[in-house]
Amino acid sequence: MKSPKGLGRGLDAIFGTEGLDLKAKPMSEMTEIEIGKIIPNPTQPRKEFDEEALDELADSIRQLGVIQPVTVRKAEDGRYIIISGERRWRAAQRADLKTLPVYIREVDDEDLHAMALVENIQRQDLNAIEIALGMQRLLDECHLTQDALSEKVGKKRSSVANYLRLLKLPDEVQLALKEGLLSMGHAKAIAGAPASEQLRVLKRCLKKGLSVRQTEELVRTLAEAGGKAPRTADEEEYPESYSRLVERLEQLFTSEIAIKRTKNGGGRITIDFADDAEVERIIERLKER
């Protein structure tokens, strides 16, 4: 499954001259500052840095120098607080640089915090839950509306709403998304299921390796069944032979297989299909046996 991409726009676009409601002034010309006079932002939400990646960046800096300047603001004690580029600053220290190219900006504490949060959620290595948590922090700590937030992160309001919806999913779904077991599309589909059924949808999705489309179909099936889907053999307290039968059938069909036993000992086996073409595929697979 694909990992989520970064949010796309840089801090210059977000906090520059686009008419947004921040009080930051334009950047100064690039200058060089002693690296010892630069300090990290104490409210920086990012606390952990990949050590191996820092070493690789330090090697690159030794060879090519710092290609992209760090953005800072001047503190009252004469030092400079990092607005964006702490990773570059850390790697430059490892590369034994004495000075660092910087842009100096004039921002207040509130805007500094907002800029740090936005830069954090723009990182390329974030998963959807981390992005959602960053957006929620911007809403809570910077007192933004969802409309203002969508402007600042360069995303449509509907995309922002989709990210924030993820935080209402069960912890198990959020964990699967963080660990890359689900994509954003899977999580969106699961969010559309009734709350009482979301964990069951997650389990089926992971066990059967459902695609986003198949997950959406499963959620639609739930909606058509009034929010309650038939239990499969591995969810009911059925004899072990029922589970073995489902496993054998799953070797023939990629569709959802369900067994329902009646009180008199009989029952039925249900094979879901999405369209006529899938019925033809089922027939072809039976011919192969």
Residues annotated as part of the active site: 86
Could you give the C-alpha distances from 269 to 217, 256, 262, in angstroms and in order?
Answer: 19, 11, 11
Which tokens hold the place of 3? 């990992």
- For 197-205, the CB contacts below 8 A with 24+ separation are 197/222, 197/227, 197/228, 197/229, 198/169, 198/170, 198/173, 199/170, 199/172, 199/173, 200/229, 200/235, 202/170, 202/172, 202/173, 202/176, 204/232, 204/256
Which tokens hold the place of 215? 């997950």
8 Å CB contact between 117 and 142? yes
8 Å CB contact between 39 and 81? yes
